[in-house]
């Protein structure tokens, strides 16, 4: 983690606002996404670890937020980032309605292995996406580490007919990922690592173990744009930048990371603002012609009032922010 001095906590709290964004489609088991946004010298930034994460893990997200708000961005190599549509674990019949929220995306990431659903549900959903996208569209699936090794192998075989671009985090354990990669090598379907990077004590282990073909990276949970860039350079694998269901402010952080990568072979998961029915700015950072522009959203007070969390949730998040700041103080001596 960076040893850059922390800005004073008072400066962070001075502009901090807790927001609650309603979702058009239930995602990761929630219908509202909460976040803290605040303004630093470089612009607005976001702290939004998922609510179930402990403070030690969440503090890395705060480091990423502070980096984006207080430090200059690395040089941009591109000003438009191609993005994918994200398909929650909806019924196959709902696929066209969700895809209609995305403008011009040539790639769709489909959530699979949802709790309470079956492989047949996944097959039906992916089939519906493939039919909607046609043979030229790109389809990738994300299991969020929900399968064991044998379940993953069975699922990949069941989904292989849909010409998958890659399978994201099919298993939780790195050894299982490595074995699965060997078992399905003849199918020529790459494996992408997400949780094995952002939730790992050693985020480079999955690359050293030969357990993945590419990395899915997120700026905030990896401690910031520079930390993520350094990780990709050390890993030596292709990377796709993704969001953690961020507000448009957090998506701008991801776009800054994607813009700075020396190579960007894959469409990025930075189009998720399309899943919200309201955002922190009047003009959200949504896909237009299949891409998002490199811009820094600046919310007005009215924008933030419109999506303000209630008092109980505001207090919960502000206490969490203070605890995570204290964690960072300890780690930085």
Q: Are strands 43-47 and 85-87 parallel, antiparallel or unpaired?
A: unpaired
Q: What is the residue-level pLDDT of the chain in tens, covering all 333 positions?
A: 456 799 999 999 999 999 999 999 888 788 999 999 999 999 999 999 999 999 999 999 999 999 999 999 999 999 999 999 999 999 999 999 999 999 999 999 999 999 999 999 999 999 999 999 999 999 999 999 999 999 999 999 999 999 999 999 999 999 999 999 999 999 999 999 999 999 998 999 999 999 999 999 999 999 999 999 999 999 999 999 999 999 999 999 999 999 999 999 999 999 999 999 999 999 999 999 999 999 999 999 999 999 999 999 999 999 999 999 999 999 886
Q: State both tokens at 61.
A: 């997200």
- For residues 234 and 281, membership in a common domain is answered with yes
Q: How many domains does the chain have?
A: 2
The enclosing domain of 49 has a CATH number of 3.30.390.10
* Catalytic-labelled residue, pool 17, 111, 226, 314: 111
State whether 204 and 309 are in the same domain: no
2: nearest Cα among 75, 68, 77, 76? 68
Rounded distance, CA 139 to CA 125, Å? Answer: 11
Domain contains 3: no
Residue among 101, 198, 218, 314 flagged as catalytic: 218
Other Cβ atoms less than 10 A from the Cβ of 140: the count is 25
Whether 57 and 92 share a structural domain: no
Q: What whole-number distance in Å separates Cα of residue 158 and Cα of residue 133?
A: 19
Asked whether residue 268 falls in the same domain as residue 312, the answer is: no
Residue 3: the pLDDT is 64
Range of the domain at 134: 80-293
Can you say how many angstroms the Cα of residue 79 is from the centroid of all Cα atoms in its chain?
19
According to DSSP, the β-strands at 138-142 and 164-168 are: parallel
Same domain, 39 and 89: no
Work out whether strand 30-40 and strand 43-47 pair parallel, antiparallel, or are unpaired. Answer: antiparallel
91: domain CATH number?
Answer: 3.20.20.120
**Is residue 4 in some structural domain?**
no
109 is catalytic: no
| Pair (152, 218) in one structural domain | yes
Of 188, 174, 203, nearest in space to 60 by CA: 203
> Is 250 within a domain?
yes
Spell out where the chain has E strands. Answer: 17-27, 30-40, 43-47, 80-82, 85-87, 107-111, 138-142, 164-168, 191-193, 214-217, 239-241, 291-293
In the annotation, is 199 catalytic? no
- Location of structure tokens 């961005």: 73
pLDDT of 332 reads: 84
The C-alpha atoms of residue 173 and residue 80 are separated, in whole angstroms, by 35
Contacts of 97 (CB under 8 A, 6+ apart): none
């Amino acid at each position: 983690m960076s040893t850059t001095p922390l800005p004073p906590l008072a400066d962070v709290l001075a502009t901090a606002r807790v927001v609650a964004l309603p979702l058009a489609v239930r995602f990761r088991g929630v219908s509202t996404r909460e976040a803290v946004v605040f303004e630093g010298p470089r612009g607005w930034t976001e702290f939004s670890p998922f609510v179930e994460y402990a403070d030690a893990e969440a503090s890395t997200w705060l480091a990423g937020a502070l980096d984006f708000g207080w430090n200059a961005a690395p040089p941009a190599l591109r000003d438009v980032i191609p993005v994918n549509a994200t398909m929650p674990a909806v019924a196959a019949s709902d696929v066209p309605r969700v895809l209609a929220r995305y403008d011009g995306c040539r790639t769709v990431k489909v959530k699979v292995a949802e709790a309470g659903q079956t492989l047949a549900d996944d097959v039906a959903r992916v089939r519906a996406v493939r039919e909607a996208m046609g043979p030229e569209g790109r389809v990738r699936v994300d299991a969020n580490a929900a399968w064991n090794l044998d379940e993953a192998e069975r699922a990949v075989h069941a989904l292989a007919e849909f010409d998958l671009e890659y399978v994201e985090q099919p298993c939780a354990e790195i050894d299982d990922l490595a074995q699965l990669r060997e078992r399905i090598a003849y199918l020529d379907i790459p494996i992408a690592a997400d949780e094995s990077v952002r939730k790992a004590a050693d985020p480079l282990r999955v690359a050293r173990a030969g357990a993945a073909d590419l990395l899915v990276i997120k700026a905030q949970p990896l401690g910031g744009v520079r930390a993520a860039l350094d990780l990709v350079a050390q890993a030596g694998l292709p990377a796709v930048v993704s969001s953690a269901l961020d507000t448009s402010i957090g998506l701008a952080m991801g776009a800054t990371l994607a813009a700075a990568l020396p190579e960007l072979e894959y469409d990025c998961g930075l189009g998720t603002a399309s899943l919200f029915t309201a955002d922190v700015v009047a003009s959200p950072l949504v896909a237009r012609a299949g891409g998002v522009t490199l811009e820094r959203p600046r919310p007005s007070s009215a924008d933030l009032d419109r999506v303000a969390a209630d008092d109980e949730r505001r207090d919960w998040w502000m206490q969490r922010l203070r605890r995570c700041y204290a964690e960072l103080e300890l780690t930085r001596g």
